[in-house]
Structure 1
């Protein structure tokens, strides 16, 4: 028997595609379930990607009007998955492909596998703020366990070793005041420091950083936000989608204040400088997943800088988390 998915993750809404992609049937995978997305008129539709006739993928078919037509025998299915036509026959069997809950928001198509999904949550305001320069960075999935990938983005301890000189200098640590708060919806760590950063990425894009903020919004959203002396400079919001047990797809959104530099130039620069960081993170997460599989099970122990790990695990599994506030000092 396969291990159940964390309760809050299993019930949650997950983005599977950009809204602009639904000009054809799209094959996606969510928690090991194959899904087909298509558009019927203005409506986004999500079905389990299995024709109830002979079980071929419906994603191999085509959209005709408001119907999805199977590529094998031409059976037609409406936006609820109900079969509405069989070529060559006067009758239609009362069968249907399983329909899934779907919602469009933030330029993405979100799907829930739950029979009764929760109300769609409010998205981070940066995802829809028209006063900001914003873009989604399309990224493929890679080998990574879902909760480990979320924690990796919010982890302040690994950049010195995994991203030396790009994100943090390994030979120039400084005292950082940390204010950590958490509740039943997620958590936030505010890192207050002084002076211009010595690593390349923060020097180029953040200037004199005074506050770095890591946010976790249960169950699958993480954000890094940076502020200079007088204003917000950059917010990176990532929605992590569990395709399978050890394969995760990030939907990464970048937001910056509008200024002298055009948005297209900032987009190119941000992608160029974050590409090596992403590659290093993916390599580490793949090694982690491979080694957990080799050992048969994970075996985690918490350290003094591991602020988010226990919180992510509890909230993703649908467990309660009391309101908490802590003040600490790290050397970062």
Structure 2
């Protein structure tokens, strides 16, 4: 395992690898921090093993799951939920070998895995992921080229939408004064943007009505959230959990939660995905360009500007550097 090359909070942490509904009769191949992982169910429970047969190093994910064990496609060796070899076809003896079993949990409709021998405590998840009084859904998304900490900052960054998402998220050339209250501690940070005037962009007008507040939240090490409030209360919350597949490839798990109203849940889901798809595409193109540039120069060389509220905090907490409680008030033009 190459956990030493990863920020310590990510290396020891828990990461979603699949939606729980994806685990069925077939093994599912995933990658976590450059380590191939195979997921399957045994006795109804989620199982995660390093995706390598210890016999001849063939991917177990290419095999089959039968009677709660995963069978290698090369010689048929079978491994149980703990990774232990339990059968060698054609022989009576079974060698004392095992595929490495990984810590796994199911929570909030996701299958979470940790590569650490002794994982960190399971993260406290936002309650909105399982709020029965609201309409919520997961938007399944593929992995794309992006460095995980940069992808987290991108979601929480207030400065780029005028340029990258004009008219969809922010209207270019029509900035307004916004009071910002930023708080942070060792668990993460929150930026509260108080907007005194209605937004001029398409997405806010369609889904939020008379917006009053936008809240950006970072929950260390890899959860980011945007919550939008109107005069009537919370209207839309977007929570994204970012899973690092490799140094330059990240898989987001995106959850939308909306206040119940006149629109049926299925229609809101269709509209939210339709309008966020171009925003996602624009972000992915820019994050891929960023990763390619950093690779070309051999390292990242970031400057910190006055609107970079979350970047330094994300980098510190992901690398296990304690952050004392802070509180600031600022004014931005958004």
With the shorter chain as reference, the TM-score category is: over 0.9
Report what 2:63 is aligned to: 61
Report what 1:15 is aligned to: 16
Report what 1:92 is aligned to: 94
Figure out how many residues of one structure are paired with residues of the other and give that number. Answer: 332
Mapped to 2, the partners of 1:230 and 1:325 lie a distance apart of: 27
Q: Secondary structure at the match of 1:20?
A: helix
1:111-260 aligned within 5 A: 111-260=113-262
| 2:186–2:323 CA contact under 8 A, matched in 1 | yes
Task: Please give the TM-score of this superposition, normalised by the length of structure 1.
Answer: 0.99
Mapped to 1, the partners of 2:123 and 2:248 lie a distance apart of: 25
Mapped to 2, the partners of 1:323 and 1:222 lie a distance apart of: 19
Unaligned runs of 5+ in 1: none
Q: Secondary structure at the match of 2:227?
A: strand
Mapped to 2, the partners of 1:318 and 1:162 lie a distance apart of: 31
Mapped to 1, the partners of 2:293 and 2:123 lie a distance apart of: 35
Q: Secondary structure at the match of 2:5?
A: coil
Q: Secondary structure at the match of 1:210?
A: strand
Q: Return the offset for 1:120.
A: 1.4
Q: Return the offset for 1:2.
A: 9.4
Q: Return the offset for 1:230.
A: 2.7
Q: Moved runs in structure 1, 4+ residues, more than 2 A?
A: none
Q: Secondary structure at the match of 1:115?
A: coil
Unaligned runs of 5+ in 2: none
Report what 2:310 is aligned to: 308
Q: Secondary structure at the match of 1:99?
A: coil
Q: Return the offset for 1:119.
A: 2.2
